[in-house]
Chain A
């Protein structure tokens, strides 16, 4: 089993749709969780951290379920500019070197 697993997609959604991505992780000692966004042939950019109580940033909501070892990202009112690959990132409590990047979920938002 991979340490971090994501559905590769692609997810094809119309503008204005709500779309959700899930990510599962295998290391129960994992402590920090992030979502990154990567545009085609560009570097990954931090989208948001994921907190135990769940957190929201505008149209984006991230949630963590430690018992089931998964995190999720919800995008409301999708925009064309949301088209990208979304990477799930998991770090144990021993520092950043063992950070694991998921392979990413591809999202296409169409007009």
Chain B
């Protein structure tokens, strides 16, 4: 079974630009979660998508947005990039069948803002 895949692996941008990160969940998983992890810090919850809808978002400004496609893959968009957006962005997926399933993570996208 293929795991969660994220692309690109690395992304280098400058301040003010826009970044798009992509995630494909494990087959059969309908929920996709996005997290930000700055160097040396813990995971910060960004967004949760399920069945194509945004179900919840963390304490991040509106320039962080995303969507989930009919095939359950997802995009995270970050507009007007700032230096402090430099971090590892992790995508995770899980089943959403009413039971409590663990989240499985992709390798992440390392976003660097110059």
List A residues at the B interface (Cβ < 8 Å): 31-32, 34, 41-46, 49, 87, 89, 91, 93, 95-99, 101-104
Contacts and interface: CB of A to CB of B under 8 A. Distances in A.
Please classify how large the interface on chain B is, using the bins under 10, 10 to 19, 20 to 34, 35 or more.
Answer: 20 to 34
A95 B97 CA distance: 9
B100 A104 contact: no
Given A42-B107, A43-B108, A45-B105, A96 B42 contact: no
The 4 nearest A-B residue pairs measured at CB = A32-B100, A103-B42, A43-B105, A97-B48
Interface stretch (B11-19, B60-68, B70-78, B88-96): B88-96
Contact of B104 (A46, A95, A98): A46
A97 B35 CA distance: 12
A49 to B, nearest CB: 7
Given A31-B100, A43-B107, A96-B101, 8 more contacts: A43-B90, A44-B105, A46-B102, A91-B100, A96-B33, A99-B33, A101-B35, A101-B45
Interface of B: 31, 33, 35, 41-43, 45, 48, 50, 55-56, 88, 90, 94, 96, 98, 100-108
Contacts of A99: 33, 45, 103
B107 A95 contact: no
B55 A97 contact: yes
Nearest to B49: A97
Given A44-B43, A104-B42, A96 B106 contact: no
Nearest to A34: B102
Contacts of A95: 96, 98, 100
A41 B31 CA distance: 24
Contacts of B96: 95-96
